[in-house]
Amino acid sequence: MTNVVLEEIPGKVTLAVEISNCRGSCVGCHSPWLKTDVGEPLTEEVVDALMADNFGVNCFLLLGEGRDREAVLRIAAHLRRKYPSIETAIYSGREEVEDELFDAFDYVKVGPYIAEFGPLNIETTNQRLFHHREDITSRFWHRGLENKK
C-alpha cells in the first residue's frame, strides 16, 4: 500500500510505501499483515509509475526493510539516479542499522515501537530519526505535547 503523507518526514510531502516481510516483532504493531509476503515486488518500473502518479512529492519513504537488502539498496540507488531532487527515507524497526543504509538514504528511522516509550512525537520515545546521520527526532516533539505522559 502507498500513501502520500505529511507527518512522517518533517517538512516533506512524502510518498510512503509499505514493505512486506517485516523482520520486527513490535508488540502492538499497527500493520501486522506486513510480517507476511504480501503485495507485489517493488521494482524500478513500479517506482517510476508511483512517481508519475504522485506529482509534487519530494520524499520517497520505504516503511520497512523487508528481507531483501539488495532490492532495497537498488531502489534507493534508482531513486537517487533518476530523481535527484527527491529525498529518500527508510523506516527500520531495528535498534541499529548498517552504515550502508545511512549511505543509501537521506533519512533513516531506527528503533522498534515500544508502547511504554511512546511514538516518535513523545520525548520518551526509544525511536530515532536521522537526516544524513544527524538525529532530528526532537523536530517531532512539539507535535506530541497534547499526548505527553
Domain ranges of the chain: 2-120+129-147
- Name the pLDDT band for 25 (thresholds 50, 70, 90): confident
User: 2-120+129-147: which CATH topology?
Assistant: Rossmann fold (3.40.50)
Is residue 149 predicted with pLDDT exceeding 60? no
The β-bridge relationship of strands 59-63 and 14-18 is parallel
The length of the chain in residues reads 149
Q: What are the backbone dihedrals phi and psi of residue 81, each rounded to the nearest 5 degrees, phi first?
A: -75, -45
Quick: pLDDT tens for 63-113: 999 989 999 999 999 999 999 999 999 999 899 999 999 999 999 999 998
Which residues lie closer than 8 Å to 55 by C-beta, 6 or more apart? none
The answer to whether the CB of 19 falls within 8 A of the CB of 61 is no
pLDDT the model gives residue 145: 53
CA 55 from chain centre, in angstroms, equals: 19
Provide the whole-model pTM.
0.91
Is residue 147 predicted with pLDDT exceeding 60? no
Q: Rounded CA gap, 149 and 136, in Å?
A: 21
